[in-house]
Structure 1
Amino acid sequence: MYMVLLCLSLITALLGQSIISQAWLNRYADEDLSGIPQIALAFQDKHYYPLRRTVQALLRSPSRIEWARTNNKTQKAVPEAIEFPCKTNGTRSMTTPTSVHQIRPGDIDIIGSIGDSLTAGYGTLSRNLPEVLIEERGLSWSGGGEGTWREYLTLPNIIKVFNPDLFGYSYGASLAEQRASQFNVAEGAAVSQDIFYMTRELVKRIKNDKRVKLNEHWKLITIWIGANTFCTQICYEDHNKLTQLYYEKLHRALSYIKNNLPRTIVNFVLDFNVQILMSMSGRPEVCKINNILVCPCVFCTQFKQQIPQMMKTLLDFHKFEKNIVEMEEFKTQDDFTVIIQPFAEHLSFPLNRLNKTDLTFFAADCFHFSQKGYATFANALWNNMMEPVGHKSTNWTNLFDRFLCPTADSPFIKTWKNSATKDDV
């Protein structure tokens, strides 16, 4: 049975890479200007998604949760006797704000997320390689709302403390097209240029949801994408063309959100340096083999000489991402802003008592993260949101070691404008 599941898992993963692969897509016309041709979408609906649903159903087992807790792969549960780290009085405005620069955490009504497998929650509770394919969206660090912050620290579970009526977060184990994913449209194997397609899908979902009051509700969207670009594309594609394509797609995506979703804050998370994966120590052999399969550009010896150029391209990506966010066109509306959140820019992995990489932060494939790892991401993202622009942390800390809170003097989610003065003008 294990071998059957492993084969199904590998087939599913390879299909995913094929669908997203730029070389494959270039064989067809870009029919709807979204980045993915209709023929690929039809294939996904008819064959790929049913296969993934079958694999996910076969792999899911309630025992994986208890296993993850026993093996220190989850955060330590916070007892009911311990209060939430922040005071919640005054963290929702008395009247709905009209300026994006005066948004308190409790003013956020809708939450959504865009990204790849790291946002879809792959591998969160995995005990073995096949289980890495289970999409634990309810535990997604930026888009999941399963349980509460006490057992699963996620950005939605933090915001829910300030506004219990928050909606849009995903729950359970679900694929992107299933109802439980709600406004988490992340897709496994997605690459940077897929950002515009996913943006359109997210906007469509929000606009079609009867709960949404488009012009009244404040929305928070977190975008984190790029790991697969540097794992599976960068060693095969022309760097200049790849960079230019991503620049165009990112600009179009942010413009599309600005023009179609009033009252929106976009968290744009800078990608981490995937080369850091090479420095992981204590990986089991199964991880080393899997890393070569899922991230050949970094782990295959034939591409070693390209790594310095890859890292230069990563810095170029970061540079123009920051430049796009600083464009005047994204600062002209009082009901929209996009903020660079750089907590992963200089990410370093924690070590265990043997001075080796602490693999309890990772999924079974040593590439994705465990629930404990994703919870630490959520903590770091939340801190970035509370830190002034220009003074944001670029690494994570142990869970709850540093958990910033809004205060009477500084009550707002930090933007380029309210970071300018001490009083959040």
Structure 2
Amino acid sequence: MTLLTYLVPVVALLAQVAALPATSSAIHPRAPLAGQFAGDIGACPPLPMRTTVPTSVKDLRPDDFKAVMAIGDSITAAFAAEGMKLNPVENILENRGISFTMGGDKGAVTVANMLKRFSPKIVGASTGDRIVSLCSGRLCGIGGYFPQDRFNAALSGAKVENLDRELNYLIKTVKEDKTINYQKDWKFMSILIGANDMCDVCDGTNLDGDTYERLIRAAFEKVRINLPNTVINVMTIFKVSEIWPLTKNELQCKIKRALGLKALCGCAFVDGDTASGVAKRKVMDDYAAIWNQRLLKVVTEYRGKYDNFAVILDPAGGNTPLTQFDPSFVSNIDCFHPSERAHKYMARNLWNNLFLDSTNKAQKWPKDLDNTIYCPTATDRIQVA
């Protein structure tokens, strides 16, 4: 079930009813990293200016990127991330300015803002809040895009099959932007997709491995052909099923699901802890494993293949048990979408993994929701192998 079908009840329900200091040490004890870790990206020293523009995707530092982009679903759109507000209308907003990959609001802990620390003129980050736009089947894109979305093409409710729709918008928008040279400037792109597909797999609307692989490869190829000089950082999909055990004992979540919000992800929530519910969540996990395996297969095909295009796989999300966190990881609006604290957490960990090759990347997220941020040095490169 998508946002389209539960939006109205959410409004009725809601009408009734700063980053913390980091204390953890570096989370990559095996990593061959030369720099230090800090509690805030602003504490990291700037990089010395490069004298030449890199010509290979293997030689990129954060200050080489001129644009940041993303495709995905309501997670990347940061739906409900800021949590419950007194005004019910504010509880159906996408808080895109704090999106973990694309948020450009001042002070937001996001990958886009971390890149901006080293490349101050980088463009594309989304800002502020705006009413949700919905992607539901063939009606994907209800509400359209807003100027402040910039290069954040994510749509709430989107599935893997909708990536082509998002890319059509993104490619057009990037090519029309006169502040960058879409052919020559280096661009950084994030992709996270699959949560909505997972919420439907128990109802017979299964996305088989072959179809998933074909759609993902087509998306990568469309970016490569139309937006050269791009690095894609694609994330494995986490086990959405585990949001159930994470939140099932929370009183506010019980109330909201009793009033209809359990249909937001029927496969995970509707049947609860019955045998049927357990079986449905098992199906979700099985499909997540299949998709992540196929994703690794496709990403591996691109390693070392092009000088002006690369795809990086961040494996951590798919390997991390969400049950290791507390309920603050999810929004108190719907007990489903990531909270602002979760967005900050995901941004820090995605950033840290960028400077590690595939053999050294953290394979799962740490338990500490307030872990530190890596400060890259002049010798560090974005690892594409």
TM-score by length of structure 2 reads 0.80
Q: Tell me by how many angstroms 1:413 deviates.
A: 0.7
Match of 2:95 in 1: 136
Moved more, 299-308 or 159-168: 299-308
Structure 2 residue aligned with 1:247, among 213, 216, 228? 213
Report SS of the residue matched to 1:345: helix
Q: Tell me by how many angstroms 1:309 deviates.
A: 3.2
Unaligned runs of 5+ in 1: 1-9, 17-50, 60-73, 417-425
Match of 1:333 in 2: 306
Match of 1:200 in 2: 168
Please tell me whether the aligned partners of residues 143 and 169 of structure 1 are also in contact (alpha carbons under 8 angstroms).
yes
Q: 1:83 to 1:380 in 2, by over 3 A?
A: closer
Q: 1:317 to 1:252 in 2, by over 3 A?
A: same
1:211-247 CA-partner distances (Å, limit 9, x unpaired): 221222110010001111111x2112354x5333222
Q: Does 1:161 align with 2:117?
A: yes
Please tell me whether the aligned partners of residues 111 and 166 of structure 1 are also in contact (alpha carbons under 8 angstroms).
yes
CA distance in 1, matches of 2:238, 2:182: 33
Q: Tell me by how many angstroms 1:349 deviates.
A: 4.2
Structure 1 residue aligned with 2:5, among 10, 14, 34? 14
Match of 2:81 in 1: 124
Q: How does 1:143-222 map to 2 (within 5 A)?
A: 143-148=102-107, 152-174=108-130, 177-222=145-190
Report SS of the residue matched to 1:265: strand
Q: Does 1:95 align with 2:52?
A: yes
CA distance in 1, matches of 2:215, 2:41: 43
State percent identity of aligned pairs.
Answer: 25
Q: Does 1:294 align with 2:294?
A: no
Please tell me whether the aligned partners of residues 101 and 413 of structure 1 are also in contact (alpha carbons under 8 angstroms).
yes
Q: 1:11 to 1:163 in 2, by over 3 A?
A: closer
The one-letter amino acid paired with 2:267 is: C
Q: How does 1:354-369 map to 2 (within 5 A)?
A: 357-359=326-328, 362-369=331-338
Q: Tell me by how many angstroms 1:286 deviates.
A: 2.7
CA distance in 2, matches of 1:400, 1:84: 16
Q: Does 1:309 align with 2:283?
A: yes
Please tell me whether the aligned partners of residues 328 and 341 of structure 2 are also in contact (alpha carbons under 8 angstroms).
no
Report SS of the residue matched to 2:316: coil
Q: How does 1:361-400 map to 2 (within 5 A)?
A: 362-393=331-362, 394-398=364-368
Please tell me whether the aligned partners of residues 122 and 134 of structure 1 are also in contact (alpha carbons under 8 angstroms).
yes
CA distance in 1, matches of 2:6, 2:167: 22
Q: Tell me by how many angstroms 1:260 deviates.
A: 1.0
CA distance in 1, matches of 2:221, 2:231: 13
Q: How large is the RMSD of aligned CA atoms in angstroms?
A: 2.8
The one-letter amino acid paired with 2:315 is: P
Report SS of the residue matched to 1:117: coil
Q: How does 1:10-89 map to 2 (within 5 A)?
A: 13-14=4-5, 74-76=18-20, 84-89=42-47
Q: 1:306 to 1:369 in 2, by over 3 A?
A: closer
Match of 1:28 in 2: none
CA distance in 1, matches of 2:284, 2:40: 46
Please tell me whether the aligned partners of residues 219 and 264 of structure 1 are also in contact (alpha carbons under 8 angstroms).
yes
Q: Could you say which structure has the greater relative contact order, defined with CA pairs below 8 angstroms and 6 or more residues apart?
A: 2
Report SS of the residue matched to 1:415: coil
CA distance in 1, matches of 2:246, 2:89: 21
Match of 1:320 in 2: 294
Report SS of the residue matched to 2:190: strand
Q: Tell me by how many angstroms 1:360 deviates.
A: 6.1
CA distance in 2, matches of 1:260, 1:235: 36
CA distance in 1, matches of 2:95, 2:225: 31
Structure 2 residue aligned with 1:346, among 319, 324, 346? 319
Report SS of the residue matched to 1:332: coil
1:337-382 CA-partner distances (Å, limit 9, x unpaired): 0000122122244778xxxx34265342111122111111100110
Match of 1:36 in 2: none
Q: 1:297 to 1:217 in 2, by over 3 A?
A: same
Q: Tell me by how many angstroms 1:135 deviates.
A: 0.7
CA distance in 2, matches of 1:387, 1:336: 18
Unaligned runs of 5+ in 2: 23-38, 134-143
CA distance in 2, matches of 1:228, 1:82: 32
Q: 1:351 to 1:261 in 2, by over 3 A?
A: closer
Q: 1:11 to 1:112 in 2, by over 3 A?
A: closer
1:29-57 CA-partner distances (Å, limit 9, x unpaired): xxxxxxxxxxxxxxxxxxxxxx9xxx8xx
Match of 1:406 in 2: 376
Q: 1:15 to 1:259 in 2, by over 3 A?
A: farther
Match of 1:259 in 2: 225
How many corresponding residue pairs? 339
Please tell me whether the aligned partners of residues 343 and 396 of structure 1 are also in contact (alpha carbons under 8 angstroms).
no
